Amino acid sequence: MGIKDVAALAGVSTATVSRALSGNGQVSEKARLKVLEAAKQLDFVPSFSASSLASGRNRNVGVVVPSVNRWYFSQIVDSVAASLLDAGYDLTLYNVSDGAAHRDRVFSEFLLRQRCDGVISVALQLSTSELDQLHAVQKPIVGIGGPLPGADTISVNEFAVAQLATEHLISLGHTRIAYIGGQEDTAVDFNISEGRRRGYEVAMEAAGLEVLPSWVGHADFTIPGGYASAKHLLGHPRNRPTAVFCASDEMAIGTIVAARELGIRVPDALSVIGIDGHDLGEVFGLTTVAQFPALQGARAVQRMLQRFTGPAEADERTNHTAHTEMIIRSSTSAPPES
């Protein structure tokens, strides 16, 4: 049973069968479904090893992440995996959380082998040598999290989303606004902590509001980290803020839990806002600026597939701003009357 039999049963050309099963080239959805149904009826399995030899591709994309146990990264990996599967590609996942030596081996050895047709890098600010190694073996690169020279990238404007979140609290009438951000070493390569802190500070300055050192906390972008920081920040009734902007939803959720333990009602006595669009945000009624990591992952795969079908022009290899959206829930309201 061969490709000609599939074409005859589906009523299409062998070229259409090849494109539909390989994912290379344009095929209408109607034709694709016909081919898949015919292949299923005939128990036809294409030889991807043979097509790899012919095309020089392995139909596999390497995805490099700093961690796999954090919500943001897992959302992106799930989305990338699903999008690649739909396009007929496999995924090889590289987790570089074990340190610099592990990361160096991934970029200097594993990704340079001919198993991956391209690389999707997540929240990693690749060095010149890492980029040069990949470019030298003609591996297309798509980055998520910040700009990379010579690569298509997708990232959130960290400054703008933080400014928007802070301005939301200001618009409600808050003047005593605290901030819980990340330590520099918890922001991985692209220092999102710096961008989000600056967005907060600029919004406060523009409104003529003071930023007290005692109202600036640090955590590790996790719920326990936000909880611990908020317990310290909110533990002084005489100098307590009426609102807290957290640089991640997980830290914001930790802040809500800490407030409840301290007997501080949210939002009656304390408003809380975060950034991310975490799944738990709806459960906690958390107001947030959502950044839709699943959409970022799907868009990265789309850009990668475009690179496979034809060389991108130099001016197309730019940083694309990811979609964000303010989602107002019950964790923010006007400040309590003095």
61-90 pLDDT, tens per residue?
Answer: 999 999 888 899 999 999 999 999 999 899
pLDDT recorded at residue 47: 55
Q: How many domains does the chain have?
A: 3
Q: Token pair for residue 26?
A: 């344009």
Last residue of a domain, one of 248, 273, 290: 290
pLDDT recorded at residue 53: 40
Q: What CATH number does residue 21 fall under?
A: 1.10.260.40
273 in the same domain as 164: yes
pLDDT recorded at residue 189: 61
pLDDT recorded at residue 42: 79
Segment (H or E) for 37: helix 29-41
Residue ranges, the chain, pLDDT below 50:
48-55, 187, 314-315
3-state secondary structure of 115: coil
188 in the same domain as 147: no
3-state secondary structure of 225: helix
3-state secondary structure of 155: strand
Q: What CATH number does residue 89 fall under?
A: 3.40.50.2300
Cα radius of gyration (the chain): 24
148 in the same domain as 162: no
Segment (H or E) for 228: helix 223-233
Beta bridge partners of 179: 216, 245
Could you tell me if residue 335 is inside a domain? no
74 in the same domain as 33: no
